[in-house]
Each structure stands twice: as structure tokens, then as C-alpha cells.
């Protein structure tokens, strides 16, 4: 359906506005995630373009979460995972369901919190600097539509607070990507 003049005007204002979402420094992790979720909700609200929304959320992940070397999305396209918007170095483009940490999260519809990627059978090493990884499926109407992938150069970088924070984020954006 064509956008109304008001919708177009609103989008125009959004483009011209500052999106200056910055994390407060020194917050406990749950508060950082609350701020990240709030920023992601605000940035994606009313925006129908999935790529734009994933790009902004990837940028927020990079800004809000310390000690990462990669953060972004793989989307489900024709029953495989295909690289989506991210921050970090160039990465593997296609990952079959069931392969690697991302493919396992997508196939099992289950978060994968990996303290040491070198001990994960079938881990796909896109970047030799990565030592730990958190992958959370994004589920819409009971179906996995994407995964959020976070990589860190530190061993055991992610814990249950990260898992909860990213799972909640996935829920918030599931209808917007």
C-alpha cells in the first residue's frame, strides 16, 4: 500500500533527526541491555525496511557492547543462512542450517552460548581472532527468520545476562526485520 503524505513526512523527519543513542558508561550489564533494547525499539519503530533496521541494530550492538570483534545478522533465505548487516570484518556469506554455531542456533531454534569456539564441533572460523560467541535465533510466528551473532576475541566473554539481553532484543525486533 502506498505511504500517506503524513507517513512520508514522518520518515523525512526521521532521516534528518539525530539518532544519537549512546550507552551510559559503567552501568551494570542488565542496564546496558535495557538501554540497548530501548534504542533498538525506538530506531526501528514504524520503519518497514528490514535491511535498514538490521543495519541500525548491528551498529547499536557494536556501540553498546564492549569486547566484540563482530556483531550482526544472518538471515534465513531459502532454507540457509545468508550474511546480513553487521559491524566487523568481512564474514562467511552462506551457512547451511545445522552447520557452525549460527547454523546450529537456527536449526535447533536455540541460543548458542559458546565459551570457547575452538571446542565447538564444526565452528566456522570467519575471523581467527574470535574465541567466544553468542548466537540467538530471531523467531517470528514460530519460524526462525534470522540469527543475531556476536563474536569476541576473549574466551568466555558471554554469560547468561548477555543471553537474556540479546534474546529480549531478538523478541523486540522480530516483527521489524
Which residue in this structure is represented by grid cell 533496521?
Answer: 53
Q: Which stretch, 1-9, 41-49, 100-108, 157-165, contacts ligand SME (CB under 6 A)?
A: 100-108
CA distance 58 to 173: 12
What letter would DSSP give residue 129?
A: T
Q: Which stretch, 11-19, 30-38, 88-96, 164-172, contacts ligand SME (CB under 6 A)?
A: 88-96
Give the footprint of ligand SME on residues 101-160 (CB under 6 A). Answer: 101-103, 123-124, 126, 130, 133, 149, 151
Query: Which C-beta is closer to ligand SME: that of 82 or that of 92?
Result: 92
CA distance 124 to 70: 14
CA distance 166 to 154: 18
- Nearest distance, CB of residue 14 and ligand SME, angstroms: 29
In 20-47, which positions are buried (b, 16+ CB within 10 angstroms) versus exposed (e)? ebebeeeeeeeebbebbbebbeebbeee
CA distance 177 to 109: 17
Give the per-residue contact string, 25-44, with ligand SME (x = CB under 6 A; - = no).
--------------------
Candidate list 85, 100, 137, 165; residue touching ligand SME; CB under 6 A: 100
Query: Which C-beta is closer to ligand SME: that of 30 or that of 98?
Result: 98
Strand order in the sheet with 80-88: 94-96, 80-88, 70-77, 143-152, 132-140, 112-114
Q: Does 95 bind ligand SME (CB under 6 A)?
A: yes
Total residues contacting ligand SME (rule CB under 6 A)?
Answer: 15
Handedness of CA 27, 29, 33, 34 (dihedral sign): negative
- Nearest distance, CB of residue 164 and ligand SME, angstroms: 21
Q: Which stretch, 38-46, 61-69, 92-100, 166-174, contacts ligand SME (CB under 6 A)?
A: 92-100
The residues of the shown chain that bind ligand SME, judged by CB under 6 A, are 70, 91-92, 95, 100-103, 123-124, 126, 130, 133, 149, 151
Amino acid at each position: 500500500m502506498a505511504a500517506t503524505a503524513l507517513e512520508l513526512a514522518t520518515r523525512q523527519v526521521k532521516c534528518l533527526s539525530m539518532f544519537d543513542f549512546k550507552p551510559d558508561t559503567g552501568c551494570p550489564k542488565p542496564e546496558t541491555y535495557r538501554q540497548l533494547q530501548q534504542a533498538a525499539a525506538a530506531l526501528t519503530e514504524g520503519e518497514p525496511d528490514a535491511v535498514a533496521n538490521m543495519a541500525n541494530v548491528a551498529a547499536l550492538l557494536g556501540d553498546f557492547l564492549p569486547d566484540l570483534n563482530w556483531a550482526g545478522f544472518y538471515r534465513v533465505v531459502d532454507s540457509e543462512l545468508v550474511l546480513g548487516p553487521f559491524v566487523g570484518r568481512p564474514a562467511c556469506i552462506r551457512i547451511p542450517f545445522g552447520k557452525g554455531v549460527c547454523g546450529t542456533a537456527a536449526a535447533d531454534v536455540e541460543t548458542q552460548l559458546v565459551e570457547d569456539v575452538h571446542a565447538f564441533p564444526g565452528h566456522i572460523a570467519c575471523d581467527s581472532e574470535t574465541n567466544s560467541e553468542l548466537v540467538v535465533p530471531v523467531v517470528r510466528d514460530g519460524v526462525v527468520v534470522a540469527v543475531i551473532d556476536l563474536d569476541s576475541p576473549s574466551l568466555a566473554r558471554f554469560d547468561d545476562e548477555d543471553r537474556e539481553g540479546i534474546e529480549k532484543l531478538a523478541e523486540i525486533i522480530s516483527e521489524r526485520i
